[in-house]
Copies of this chain bind each other. A is one copy, B any other.
Amino acid sequence: MPVFQQVYEGLRERIASGVFENGGRLPPTRALAVELGVSRSTIVTAYEQLVAEGYVEGRQGSGYSVCHMGEVEFAAKQEVPAKQISAPRRSRPKPFSPGVPDMRHFPYRQWARCVARVARNEPEALVIPDDLFGDLRLRQAICEHIFQWRGVRATAEQVLITAGSGDALEICIRALAEPGDRIGLEDPGYPQIRHFVSSLGMKPLWLEVGADGAELPPASGGKKPCLVVLTPTQQYPLGGAMTPGRRLEFLSWAERANGWLIEDDYDSEFRYAGRPIPALASFDRNERTIYTGSFSKIFSNNLRLGYLVIPDALTQRFAETLRRFGGKASVLPQRALATFFEDGEFYRHLRRVRRVYAERRRALIDLLKSELGAGAKIEDPQAGMQFVLCLPDRCDDAALSRAAGAIGLSVSALSTYYAGSNPRKGLVLGFCGFTPEELRDGILALAPLIRKTLA
């Protein structure tokens, strides 16, 4: 141990144990150097270390004194519990888990480069957002993205960065509805949004989903919803887009009923054929639609980043909600993601995984057809991250899902996405997170169970 460090540790110990009074002077450097028989610069180095670490203050011309701050950090220093870091429990998602991107294709190197570049060049941007709604450069990049991909026109001021899509929905509901209100929800639909609605003391009004998309709320009778959550581009989990006619009906309902539409555009970037279906918000001339998107599907669920695009008339109300409940989106990933967009890495990644996922979708469809023959009734929207394998009404899809779970597969029963009493039956099969080989092994294990159910 270097001499200065021995001096430093001896002094720190004495400060901790109260030998030196708080505010008391340390011995002059020259005197202590003589006393210990070391050079004066050794003492100065030790004192300066104590200054840097905050134990001691140095005032020009008046020597060093012990800081007024008690002994807080010394408590029980020797009894630290042993390190208990277990092996990380990261596990691969089980085959057919829906909505799961394949993190083996994540552009770690490119993303880390963006993060490191922001850390180097703009360290303040890691810590301080531009304003309550988040980093402006990211919000600008989102404006361009949703304009080019979804036809939605908005300014950066209308974009609010959230901690993922769950946070986005929760902020919307808190800003636009009160406990006791009714919220229109698609049936079948996304389970998490149901939990939010009931946890926030509101009541769902179920909107059945037909061939044109979700039904409109009833014109009379019962309590009317103040807002409706829709997945118009790709119904979740059935797939398929709401028809233009139905979209216009919803927009005019919102205008008439003074209600709001929340467009949950959760994975519209994954479209494997033809042109993208424009967002509902791009049709809306009356600013009744709040658009929400997420980076969970394209990028990574764990960055917890999503966004809301808010009509101008509502930005103040959303700011109030954020102030009241506190924002939850971390500022750290925001500028890095803006850079990732600006460098073109985002689209490069998106095109790459879309090609990979398109192959996997094709592979899964082929596997189902070859294993199940005519039993393979697939709702194929040529988009998204999962599709439904339809089963006859007499089948117990929940039992099938449990049996699949028992052999290590994550296959969701379509009926569990329904609130109503007459659910359709089927299996929701995710294909993005798994290679064609993994999908084949999964189907070879799953197909006998399905055949038994169909028999």
Q: Within 8 Å of chain B (Cβ to Cβ): is A251?
A: no
- State which of B111, B149, B271 has its C-beta within 8 Å of the C-beta of A123: B111
Contact residues in B for A136 (Cβ distance below 8 Å): 85-86, 88
Check A69 against B300 for contact (C-beta < 8 Å).
no
Q: Is A199 an interface residue, CB under 8 A from the partner?
A: yes
- Whether A35 is near chain B, meaning CB under 8 Å from some CB there, is no
Asked whether A148 and B80 contact (CB < 8 A) given A54-B355, A179-B199, A195-B324, the answer is yes
Taken residue by residue from 232 to 273, chain A's Cβ proximity to chain B (1 for < 8 Å, 0 otherwise) reads as 000000000000000000000000000000000000010111
Contact A88 B127 (CB under 8 A): no
Can you list 13 A-B pairs, Cβ within 8 angstroms, ordered by A? A54-B350, A68-B358, A70-B275, A75-B148, A83-B140, A84-B143, A85-B156, A115-B332, A174-B199, A192-B324, A303-B331, A304-B327, A328-B328
Please tell me if A369 contacts chain B, counting CB pairs below 8 Å.
no
Which residue of B77, B174, B196, B330 contacts A304 across the interface (Cβ within 8 Å)? B330
- Please give, as numbers and ranges, the residues of chain B lying within 8 Å of A89 by CB-CB distance: 130-131
Inter-subunit contact A302/B331 (CB<8 Å): yes
Give the complex CA separation of A50 and B247 in angstroms. Answer: 36
Beta-carbon contact of B126 and A75 below 8 Å: no
Contact A120 B130 (CB under 8 A): no
The stretch of A40-48, A159-167, A420-428, A439-447 in contact with B is A159-167
- Closest 9 interchain pairs by CB? A54-B351, A201-B201, A112-B123, A166-B326, A112-B119, A330-B330, A108-B123, A302-B331, A88-B130
Closest to A70 in B: B274
Closest to A278 in B: B75
Task: Verify if A157 is at the interface (C-beta below 8 Å from B).
Answer: yes
Q: Which residues of B contact A140 (CB under 8 A)?
A: 83-85
Give chain B residues whose Cβ lies under 8 Å from the Cβ of A72: 149, 269, 271, 275-276
CB distance from A247 to the nearest CB of B (A): 18
Q: Can you list, as one digit per residue, whether each of A100-126 has a CB less than 8 Å from chain B (1) or not (0)?
A: 000100101101110110011001101
- From B128, B157, B192, B302, A325 is in contact (CB under 8 Å) with B192
Contacts of A33 in B (CB 8 A): none
- Give the residues from 328 to 366 in chain A that come closer than 8 angstroms, CB to CB, to chain B: 328-333, 336, 347-348, 350-352, 354-355, 358
A38 at the interface (CB under 8 A from B): no
Q: Does A405 contact B (CB under 8 A)?
A: no
A221 at the interface (CB under 8 A from B): no
Q: Is the CB of A108 within 8 A of B81?
A: no
A147 at the binding interface (Cβ < 8 Å):
yes
Q: Which residue of B lies closest to A130 (CB)?
A: B88
Interface residues of A (CB under 8 A from B): 22, 52-55, 57, 67-73, 75-77, 79-81, 83-86, 88-90, 103, 106, 108-109, 111-113, 115-116, 119-120, 123-124, 126-131, 136-137, 140, 143-144, 147-149, 151, 153, 155-157, 163-164, 166-167, 174, 179, 192, 195-196, 198-201, 269, 271-276, 300, 302-305, 324-333, 336, 347-348, 350-352, 354-355, 358
Say whether, besides A108-B124, A123-B108, A302-B128, A355 and B69 are in contact (CB < 8 Å): yes
Identify the closest chain B residue to A115 (Cβ): B119
Q: Given A68-B272, A149-B72, A166–B53 Cβ distance below 8 Å?
A: no
A330 with B302: CB separation less than 8 A: yes
Contact: A71 with B275, CB < 8 Å?
Answer: yes
Cβ distance A89 to chain B, nearest Cβ, rounded Å: 5
Residues in B with CB closer than 8 Å to A67 are: 351, 355, 358
Pairwise interchain contact B157-A86, C-beta atoms closer than 8 A = yes
Distance, CA A86 to CA B131, complexed state (A): 11
| Nearest-neighbor residue (CB-CB) of A354 within chain B | B69
Please, which residues of chain B bring their CB within 8 A of the CB of A103? 127-128
Rounded to whole angstroms, the CA-CA distance of A94 and B79 in the bound complex is 43
Within 8 Å by CB of A73, from B155, B201, B347, lies B347
Instruction: Give the shortest distance, in Å, between A305 (CB) and chain B (any CB).
Output: 7
Additional 14 contacts, C-beta under 8 A, given A75-B275, A103-B127, A302-B330: A54-B351, A68-B272, A69-B351, A70-B273, A72-B269, A76-B147, A79-B147, A106-B127, A127-B302, A163-B330, A192-B325, A200-B201, A303-B332, A332-B333
